[in-house]
Amino acid sequence: MKSPRILLAALCALLFAVAAQAAAEPADTLVVYGDARTGHDIHRKIVGHILTFRPQAVFSTGDQVNDGRIQGEWAVFNEIISPILETSRFYPLLGNHERNAELYFKNFRLPGNERWYAVRQGPIQFYLLDSNGLIGPGSNQHAWLEKELRGVPKDVKFVAALFHHPVISSGPYPDEKNLARRLLPLLEKYGVDIVFVGHEHVYERSFKDGVTHVTTGGGGAPLHLKLRHNPYGQVFASVHHFCVLRVAGRTLEVRAYDTDMALVDEFRIKSKRQ
Ligand SMILES: [Fe+2]
C-alpha cells in the first residue's frame, strides 16, 4: 500500500494538472458591437463596460468611424479601443462608412485577405464578411464562404456570420443590399446559427428559418427608431449597447447591455452540431 505522503503528492500532481488544463482552455467570453462612428463618449463608456467582462475577443459589425478616408478619425477610434487591445483581439469588418478606404487596411492587421475572413474562438466559428460589395452567388466571397461552411471543423458548436447590412430589420434599411436573396440562402443551407449585423443604430433580435439575426449597431452613432413591422422580430430596443457571448456546454448565451449596464436582451441557442 502506498504511503499517505505518496498519495498526497499524487493528489497534488492531479490537481495541478487539472488547474493547468483549465488555464489552457480558451476564455469563453466574447463581445460583439458596432457603429461607433462619432459617438466617442458613448463608445468610450461601452469600451469601459466591455473591459469588465475580460473578453478574449471583441468583434465589430462595422462603421467603426464616420469617414474611413480620414486618418484622424482612425486615430480617435484606435485610442478608444486601445485598452481592449491590451488583453483581447479586436476583429472589425467593413461598413459603408469605411468607404472602402485603404486606411482601413492600414489600421488593422486581419486574417485572410482582411476584407473577409474566418476566426475561430473556442467552440464558435466566426465568418466576417464584406456586405458592401460582391457577395452573391458567383462572387469570390460567396465561393470562399461556401467552401468554409462545408469544412467547418467537427468540434465547432456554433457558427456565426458577421457583416454590416441587416437582412431583417424594423429600422430604416431593411435588406438594403438584397442579402435575403444573395447571402441568406447560403447561411441557411449550411446551418449558420447566428448572424450579427450593424448599420441600423439599434438592438434588434429576429428569428427566421433556423437563424437568429441580431442587429447590434449601438456603439455610439445616433440612434434609430422602429419604423416598420418586422414579422420575424422578437426584441427591439433603440439604445446604445453591446452584446456579450458565452458558451456553457452546448448552449450559447447572449446578453445585450446598455450603457448603464442594464440588460437589454438575453437569449440562449442550443448547439445543433454533434
Ligand atoms: Fe452603416
**Tens of pLDDT, residues 115-131:** 999 999 999 999 999 99
In this predicted structure, the answer to whether residue 27 has a pLDDT above a threshold of 50 is: no
Expressed in angstroms and rounded, the spacing between residue 170 Cα and the centre of ligand 1 is: 15
What share of the chain has pLDDT > 90, as a percent?
Answer: 88
| 184 band by pLDDT with thresholds 50, 70 and 90 | very high
Secondary structure (3-state) at 128: strand
Interval between CA 197 and ligand 1 midpoint (Å): 10
Mean per-residue pLDDT of the chain:
92
Per-residue model confidence (pLDDT) at position 274 = 78
Residues 6+ apart with CB under 8 A from 178: 136
Cα of 100 vs centre of ligand 1, distance in Å, is 12
Query: Could you tell me the distance, in angstroms and rounded to a whole number, from the CA of residue 133 to the centre of ligand 1?
Result: 13
Q: What pLDDT does residue 71 have?
A: 98
* 218 pLDDT more than 80: yes
The predicted model scores a pTM of 0.90
Q: Which of 135, 79, 71 is nearest to 99 (CA)?
A: 71
Mean pLDDT of the region 30-59:
98
Expressed in angstroms and rounded, the spacing between residue 201 Cα and the centre of ligand 1 is: 9
Residue 21 has pLDDT above 90, yes or no: no
How far is the centre of ligand 1, averaged over its atoms, from the C-alpha of 235 (Å)?
A: 21
- Give the distance (Å) from ligand 1 centre to CA of residue 135: 17
- Quote the CA–CA distance of 40 and 27 in Å, as a whole number: 28
Length of the chain: 274
pLDDT at 119: 97
Spacing, Cα 13 to ligand 1 middle (Å) = 54
132 CA from centroid of ligand 1 (Å): 10
> Per-residue pLDDT tens for 58-117?
999 999 999 999 999 999 999 999 999 999 999 999 999 999 999 999 999 999 999 999
The reported pLDDT for the residue numbered 3 is: 56
CA of residue 143 to ligand 1 center, whole Å? 25
For each of the domains in the chain, give its residue range(s) and CATH number, in order of start. Answer: 26-270 (3.60.21.10)
Q: Report whether 55 contacts 27 (CB < 8 A).
A: yes
CA of 60 from ligand 1 middle (Å) equals 12
Q: Residue 243 corresponds to which cell in the numbers above?
A: 452584446
Using the mean position of ligand 1's atoms as its centre, give its distance from the Cα of residue 198 in Å.
7
pLDDT > 70? residue 22 = no
Q: How far is the CA of 5 from the centre of ligand 1 (A)?
A: 65
Q: What is the mean pLDDT of residues 242-248?
A: 97
The answer on pLDDT for 203 being more than 70 is: yes
What is the distance in A from the centroid of ligand 1 to the CA of 166?
10
First to last CA, the chain: 43
The partner residues of 197 in beta bridges, in order of sequence, read: 215
